[in-house]
Chains A and B, each alone.
Chain A
Amino acid sequence: MLTVKNLYKSYKTNNIKYDVLKNVYFKIHKGEFVAVMGPSGSGKTTLLNTISQYIPSDKGEILLNGESIIGLKEDNLAYIRNEKLGFVFQDFMLLDGLTVFENICLPQIIADKNIVSMESSVNKLCDFFCISHIKNKYPAEISGGEKQRTAVARALINNPFLILADEPTGNLDSKSSRTVIEAFINAKNKLSATIFMVTHDSFSASFCDRVLVLRDGEIYKELKKETNRTEFLDLLLKTLKELGGENNDYE
């Protein structure tokens, strides 16, 4: 599904080069729910943004379903973002001037899809994520959890190969976080969605099949859920504690 090979990314500030991603290599298979964790500044969000090509990478390969998406022309990239990828942002990124329904429709409108099938797909997704009652409301009129579920529905509307989620529970309370994670699990189980999520929240990550732990731009460890969720959560917390350092958010 997704293969990231020897990925490098650096930033330059005041003529000083900062290597944010160094030789990152991993694979995600169809239907997997994978999380990326790590301390602040470890390169999690940069990794997500380079996979979506929101920011260009310096070196390496990103293969989506076996096809490289690096160096594609603007129009081809737009097609990939519309059809093959779905993105969920930490701060929802819904358009304030459109209703929940219209926001979910957006990727299909952009792709100029059939209106009848689009409306039925959106309605289905609204039912699926329990947001039908708010579909005619504007983002300013709904809660954070509802906004994020709307964003997840929008990410799924075109049945993409992969959903990229950047701290989707970062701005939410625990109850709303739970509903969003449940939305992802449902999408994975019932819609066979593949999800790649950046998170700080060990609890949310414990619902994933696999967790990649990043440190200083490199994959420090890869943890697989082999037993039950509680044990996996303990393992995650233990690993994150190992990271230590002054930037460790998990201590």
Chain B
Amino acid sequence: MTMNNIYSKLRSKNIKNYYILIFCKILSIVLVTSYAVMFLSPTVQNVFPKHGDSTKQAYLIFGIAIIGCALFTSYASSLFLKYKSKETGILLSLGTKKSHIKKVLFTELLLITFTSSVIGLVLSIPISYGIWKLFQFFIIDTREMVYHIGWFGMVFGIIFCLFVTLCNFTMAIRFINRTNLMDILNENKKSEIVKSIKSWFGTVGVIFIIIGMFLGYGIPILSIRVFNFLMPSIWNITYLLSIVGIYMVITFVVVHSKKGKSSKKYYKNIIPKSMMKFIGKQTVRNMCVLSLLICGALFASFYTPAVISSIFYSFYNNPYDYSFHYKITENQVTKDEIYSLAEKHAVNITSYKEIQSISLIVNGVKANFENNGKITYDYIDKIGYSEFFSVSHFNRVSKQNVNLKSGEYMTIIGFESAENIHKRFDDLNIVTNPTNDVTKKMDYKKTITFQPFVKEGTTKYVISNKDYNKYLKDLSKENIENFVLFNVENPEKTYAFAKELKNEIIKRSSKKSAVNPYYDEYAKKIALEKGRNYYPYNYVVDLSTDNNSLFTNWKYYPSFGVLNRQDIMKNMSVFLLLFIYIAVICLTAIGIISYTRSVTIAINNKTLFESLKRLGANNKHIEKCIKVQLKKIFVVPTIVGSTVTYLFYFFIMYGNSGNVTPSEYLGLKIDFGIIILISIFMYLIYKLSFRKVKKIVEI
């Protein structure tokens, strides 16, 4: 018999521990890599705006999921080393050389890491493909959702594997390099009691959570608004204060017990409380990871309601069921054609209106982000085109009574429009006629709300009839747009008509109009003259009727309420897929970690439960002891994670516009529903874990 035989016998005896570690590693690698493969695929990257909020949110949530997965793998490794400690200690005490044990341990770890990394990386592709296909099968299948592998995602996965390996090996080195052999020998007997804490600990934790969020999110916004200063990315580190706060709150809940007023309750829970305290460090760490993952799952799930509620709100509050616009140089559908199409679909058109707008060059302010963080603003006399309506045209379609003198203007805004660092409502001072380059000073009067004219990209204004007619005289047809607005009877029943009309509009649009909402002819001209790259110019819009991304990417996409309401899931499919996938990653990890934790509690305390039985405790009492512990593991992270995320989302909503808009309220209500759904998910896992625990402790 050789040492190799001994090691292989020991391995087969403890094979379960090896499997647990391999499983945890594979799971975390699969979750992280499959997400990265999907997120960094051309399909998703083409849809996500380069520096947009959605992209930042996706990275933030992904960051949370990575931290969760890394912690979860490190936890599994520490448990593995704990199980190995007795064997290592005995072999050392019997005279095995430390270098030899180190070699064996590192070889084992290397094999485990290599195997799990390879399996995890390889599995991540079919799993991401499977989830993608399931999503297409059960939720939405659109033309845009073509599965592509983001190979950079694999590189990301490999980096994650290396990072996790580094963490695991550091832990192993620290484990084996201890000089006190008794520490190694007694490692698995070591209790991890958290020191008793004062009653203020929990309150301070809550304060830290709020301060962390304020510092991380509120200060950068204030800094931009008040000091014109962009905080450096390192400032995001202040969010860590919130994580410290979460740790403090959870530690308080797990460890703190005081007789207080209800001494009956204190004595009733004294056994499960002390059991939790005994393994306090592990429990707190575990519950923190669960809370963070719940934050990630919720944050990902909140994205869709936020976007959809805002779109829905603008549709439902739109005074026109149908509206679209086009340059008059386009050979677009005429009024007669629209009416005959309506007749074909038995749709009754009411209040049909057509008005024209003119495109004039306006002045503007360009925000520049300097390397030192300072935001400077350049005033530019001619920044790009804006659309202008005459007072009479505007009053006719909006049924409002606007009066303006020559030289005055009003800015058209939507129900929830807000100023930001790039755009203020009164930015316009000078208008230039693109034909003769004659400029005119303009005075801001006020804003006027009219939702159908609000669209991302171009700001629209109302000017006096006199000014409008004066400009119109000299303008070329290229600078005139036609706006068509009408209502229909029973709009919800006009889907087929809307779809055919939309398709007709797309078919008739020329290549020249295949531009994105931010495309500006004048800005492009200036950029090209100066030899600069003009991003919206390079962006080619694919004008085909089954291209759902036109909803967000095409400047002339028609706004047909019934169509947009019913097709919103299709139009946002890629966003939905990605955020639902992150939520799935987080929920999977939550399920596994909480279930494993529950089983560990059962295994660790089995002897103790047996002793309690010997002391006369019946099954009901044991069941209660288990329930108190499991409830904490499931309930506390759910409450902490949900509250923190909900509060943070509220901060974001408020920070966006300085108040919470009606659509944001709607979004927050849906978010609350999601919290309830996740709570139900946690309850189901709790039930499942409880059943398993009962089986283990034989009650």
The answer to whether A54 and B93 touch (CB under 8 A), given A93-B86, A115-B1, is yes
Q: Using Cβ atoms and an 8 Å threshold, which residues of chain A touch B179?
A: 55-56
- A95 at interface (Cβ–Cβ under 8 A)? yes
| Docked complex Cα distance between A154 and B92 (Å) | 14
Which residue in B10, B95, B97 is a CB contact (below 8 Å) of A107? Answer: B95
The answer to whether A111 and B95 touch (CB under 8 A), given A55-B182, A102-B6, is yes
Q: Which of A71-79, A141-149, A198-206 contacts B (4 or more CB under 8 A)?
A: A71-79
- A150 at interface (Cβ–Cβ under 8 A)? no
- Residues 153-212 of B contacting A (Cβ, < 8 Å): 179-182, 185
Q: Number of contacts between A and B (CB, 8 Å)?
A: 82
The answer to whether A110 and B96 touch (CB under 8 A), given A55-B181, A97-B12, A105-B1, is yes
| Smallest Cβ-Cβ distance to A155: which chain B residue | B94
- A191 at interface (Cβ–Cβ under 8 A)? no
Q: Using Cβ atoms and an 8 Å threshold, which residues of chain B touch A75?
A: 97-99
Query: Do B182 and A49 touch (CB < 8 A)?
Result: yes
- A42 at interface (Cβ–Cβ under 8 A)? no
- B90 at interface (Cβ–Cβ under 8 A)? yes
> Closest Cβ of chain B: how far from A210's Cβ, in Å?
25
Q: Which of A31-39, A58-66, A81-89, A225-233 contacts B (4 or more CB under 8 A)?
A: A81-89
The interface centre, meaning the residue of A80, A97, A102 with most chain B CB atoms within 10 A of its CB, is: A97
The answer to whether A56 and B93 touch (CB under 8 A), given A98-B9, A102-B1, A115-B1, is no
- B511 at interface (Cβ–Cβ under 8 A)? no
- Residues 91-127 of A contacting B (Cβ, < 8 Å): 93-98, 102, 105-107, 109-112, 115
| Docked complex Cα distance between A111 and B94 (Å) | 10
- A169 at interface (Cβ–Cβ under 8 A)? no
- B500 at interface (Cβ–Cβ under 8 A)? no
- A194 at interface (Cβ–Cβ under 8 A)? no
Query: Do A54 and B95 touch (CB < 8 A)?
Result: no
| Smallest Cβ-Cβ distance to A84: which chain B residue | B95
Query: Do A95 and B181 touch (CB < 8 A)?
Result: no
| Complex interface bits, B253-286 against A, C-beta within 8 A gives 1, otherwise 0 | 0000000000000000000000000000000000
- B2 at interface (Cβ–Cβ under 8 A)? yes
Q: Using Cβ atoms and an 8 Å threshold, which residues of chain B touch A111?
A: 95
| Complex interface bits, A200-244 against B, C-beta within 8 A gives 1, otherwise 0 | 000000000000000000000000000000000000000000000
The answer to whether A97 and B14 touch (CB under 8 A), given A56-B180, A102-B6, A110-B91, is yes
The answer to whether A106 and B6 touch (CB under 8 A), given A95-B90, A115-B1, is yes
- Residues 1-16 of B contacting A (Cβ, < 8 Å): 1-3, 6, 9-10, 12-14
| Docked complex Cα distance between A95 and B3 (Å) | 13
> Closest Cβ of chain A: how far from B197's Cβ, in Å?
15
Counting contact residues on chain A (CB < 8 A from B), the size range is 20 to 34
Q: Using Cβ atoms and an 8 Å threshold, which residues of chain A touch B6?
A: 98, 102, 106, 109
Q: Using Cβ atoms and an 8 Å threshold, which residues of chain B touch A78?
A: 92, 95-98
| Complex interface bits, A36-56 against B, C-beta within 8 A gives 1, otherwise 0 | 000000000000010010111
> Closest Cβ of chain A: how far from B12's Cβ, in Å?
7
Query: Do B93 and A93 touch (CB < 8 A)?
Result: yes
| Docked complex Cα distance between A224 and B89 (Å) | 35
Query: Do A109 and B97 touch (CB < 8 A)?
Result: no
Q: Using Cβ atoms and an 8 Å threshold, which residues of chain B touch A52?
A: 93
| Docked complex Cα distance between A105 and B91 (Å) | 12
Q: Using Cβ atoms and an 8 Å threshold, which residues of chain B touch A87?
A: 93-94
| Docked complex Cα distance between A80 and B95 (Å) | 7
- B108 at interface (Cβ–Cβ under 8 A)? no
| Docked complex Cα distance between A56 and B182 (Å) | 11
Q: Using Cβ atoms and an 8 Å threshold, which residues of chain B touch A89?
A: 93
- B87 at interface (Cβ–Cβ under 8 A)? yes
| Docked complex Cα distance between A31 and B288 (Å) | 57
- Residues 147-195 of A contacting B (Cβ, < 8 Å): 154
Query: Do A93 and B89 touch (CB < 8 A)?
Result: yes
Q: List 29 A-B contacts (CB under 8 A).
A: A49-B181, A49-B182, A54-B182, A55-B181, A55-B182, A56-B179, A74-B97, A78-B98, A79-B95, A81-B92, A81-B94, A82-B95, A93-B89, A93-B93, A95-B87, A95-B90, A97-B9, A97-B12, A102-B6, A102-B9, A106-B91, A106-B94, A107-B94, A109-B6, A110-B91, A110-B96, A112-B2, A115-B1, A154-B94
The 3 closest A-B pairs by CB, nearest first: A82-B95, A97-B13, A54-B181
* Other 17 A-B pairs with CB < 8 A, given A81-B93, A95-B87: A49-B181, A49-B182, A54-B181, A55-B181, A74-B97, A75-B98, A82-B94, A95-B10, A97-B9, A97-B12, A98-B9, A98-B10, A106-B6, A106-B94, A107-B94, A110-B3, A154-B94
